[in-house]
A and B are shown apart, each in its own frame.
Chain A
Amino acid sequence: MAKQVFKRPKSLKENVFHYCPGCGHSIIHRLVAEVIDELGIRERTVGVPPAGCAVLAYNYLDVDMGEAPHGRAVAVATGIKRARPDLVVFTYQGDGDIAAIGTAETVHAANRGERLTVIFVNNGVYGMTGGQMAPTTILGQTTTTTPGGRIALRDGYPLDLSQMLAVAAGSVYIERTSVTSPKNIMKTKKAIKKAFQVQMDDLGFALVEVLSPCPTNWKLSPVDACKWVDEEVVKSYPLKVIKDTTQSDG
């Protein structure tokens, strides 16, 4: 008799993803839903998606969701969490959102040690607005506003926000992963689960940065987009645990 081994997580709605083929957002959504199911927290979880390709995350994740203005997700999430500490609150933010317009909010939320779980989807571009340069865009990368490639002298350097956040005393767990292979996807899921667990254990600010392909704006096939992450993007953004003080007594 056939046994169903792969099914839709309870926290994921039936709607078909609107994301482009090969987009990392669909995979990461599913991982978040699986983690919420496995931790048994669907009925006390609140998600905060700001503007970005994933602003419609609430069409897929079947938990309470509050939309934030572009860049302000952690501020909105801070308000929810402080008002209702019994809830598990996560944000789901793009690199433009978290590392450009929302840098101040993010640095200070991390520094205050807000009990939040941040899913930071780094695709190196402003996906939703058509592929402009993001603060994370790597040097030489072509975008609609860096037609000849990003040049440090004119455009500045790629910003490693996760590394910056690791300096904040209130952050306890920061890991960078990718979703380019089954192995990397499993690692990402583990990291997301841990980032939720850190909040549930009341330890402090937790963030997972996921390097995510945007085939559409990179003008690559889904397969080549994953290759570009594995071969090029990781040079600027190495996959690793950037900070983990969950085991320390301090």
Chain B
Amino acid sequence: MRGSHVIGEAATRAGCRFYAGYPITPQNELPEYLSKRFAELEDATFIQAESELAAINMVMGASMAGVRAMTSSSSPGISLKQEGISYMAGTELPAVVVNVMRGGPGLGNIAPSQQDYFQATRGGGHGGYRTIVLAPHSGQELVTLTMKAFDLADRYRLPVVLLGDGLMGQMMEPVTFPDPIDPATLPRKDWVLGGAKGRGGHLLASLLLDPSKMEQHNWKLARKYAAIRERETEHESYLLDDAVLAVVAFGTAARIAKGAVNRVRKAGLKAGLFRPVTLWPFPERQLRALTPRLKHILVFEMNLGQMVEDVKLSIGEQATVHFYGRPGGIVSTPHEIAEAITKLCYRYDLG
């Protein structure tokens, strides 16, 4: 099944009943799939909106009404959605935002890229908020992480970003789906706008004119983010037990890096892969735990070095961090990364 269809099916099975989006390559197969899938369901809404701005704000409305809601886009469209994402972060509204990244800046190109790492992991819009960012690297993980995204969004009441690229969206892999969740069985949200029956009106707003209330609210958000950092980091360790060099990569780059690790292992070089699954919160402690035993880390990204900053923040002076990346939308081959690993091993005499 095609990656973008997998996301659509997984979202549906997670109980998502509202989608709004605006066409942009390379993610069109996702809304196309959902337009068909939601038509089969009585309680689901699909809207092709007039813009990404409208789409994210429709999602915000559906979220206010208590429904699991999603939008998707690619880099330029995600920039437009930042307004709504910031408002949802401030108003504490759950939603899932899929970014099938393309090369940038500006209109860029539609080739696979990881140029939006900073935008995704630093909130992306104004106001110092965070979103949880999940980075799938396989078809099956598109299933699990899409479904998990909805759970996390509801649990913490914030937007969750699923960060992939065109390769992930087009990739054909066999996957298995869990049974669909009946939205009626999901935990009740007592904060939604559903009509003030026998009570005063509910308010969902991000405006806090009183500076002390604004500060209180931001401290509350900060405590929430701290709890997420504490509990929700996820990563994969691949052949790291005996490794002398760790490659750190996420998403499509991690898939390529796995191939490279397998290659150099055949040649006798003990490399492994550390793959962050949550980009925010970044698995800092888990990465730091590899050091000081591991003296060298090679970060590989499909950009000119963004996650590498989080790697450096995580490990400090405990190991030397090297970087390899390409920014043009050209997808590196496992051969290319194997060569980068091999060069490092010889240079630093890593047996």
Contact = CB atoms under 8 A, between A and B. Distances in A.
A80 interface: yes
Interface in B63-83: 63-67, 69, 83
A43 B66 contact: no
Interface stretch (A57-65, A130-138, A141-149, A184-192): A57-65
Nearest to B45: A82
A108 B201 CA distance: 29
Interface in A116-153: none
Given A66-B193, A69-B83, A72-B53, A79 B200 contact: no
Given A45-B195, A83-B69, A65 B61 contact: no
Contacts of B69: 79, 83
B308 interface: no
B54 A108 contact: yes
Interface of B: 17-18, 20, 45, 47, 49-51, 53-55, 57-67, 69, 83-84, 87, 91, 193-198, 200-207
Instruction: Summarize A's interface: helix, strand, loop or mixed.
Output: helix
Interface string A175-195: 000000000000000000000
8 contacts: A69-B87, A72-B54, A72-B60, A75-B53, A75-B58, A79-B69, A82-B62, A87-B194
Contacts of A56: 207
Interface residues of A, number: 35
A68 interface: yes
Contact of A72 (B63, B84, B196): B84
Given A43-B198, A45-B195, A72 B57 contact: yes
Contact of A64 (B51, B53, B201, B207): B201
A108 B50 contact: yes
A105 B18 CA distance: 18
Contacts of B63: 79
A43 B197 contact: yes
B342 to A, nearest CB: 51
A46 B87 CA distance: 18
Contacts of B45: 82-83
Contacts of A239: none
Given A79-B61, A79-B63, A87-B195, A63 B201 contact: yes
Contacts of A46: 64-65, 193-195
Given A62-B196, A80-B62, A83-B66, A75 B205 contact: no
Contacts of B197: 43-44
A44 B198 CA distance: 11
B155 to A, nearest CB: 20
B54 A64 contact: no
Given A64-B201, A67-B205, A69-B57, A80 B51 contact: no
A64 B58 CA distance: 17
A76 interface: yes
Nearest to A107: B50
Interface in A30-48: 42-46, 48
B201 A84 contact: no
Contacts of A82: 18, 45, 47, 58, 61-62
B50 A104 contact: yes
B50 A83 contact: no
Nearest to B65: A83
A78 interface: yes
B50 A79 contact: no
B200 A62 contact: yes
Contacts of B53: 72, 75, 104-105
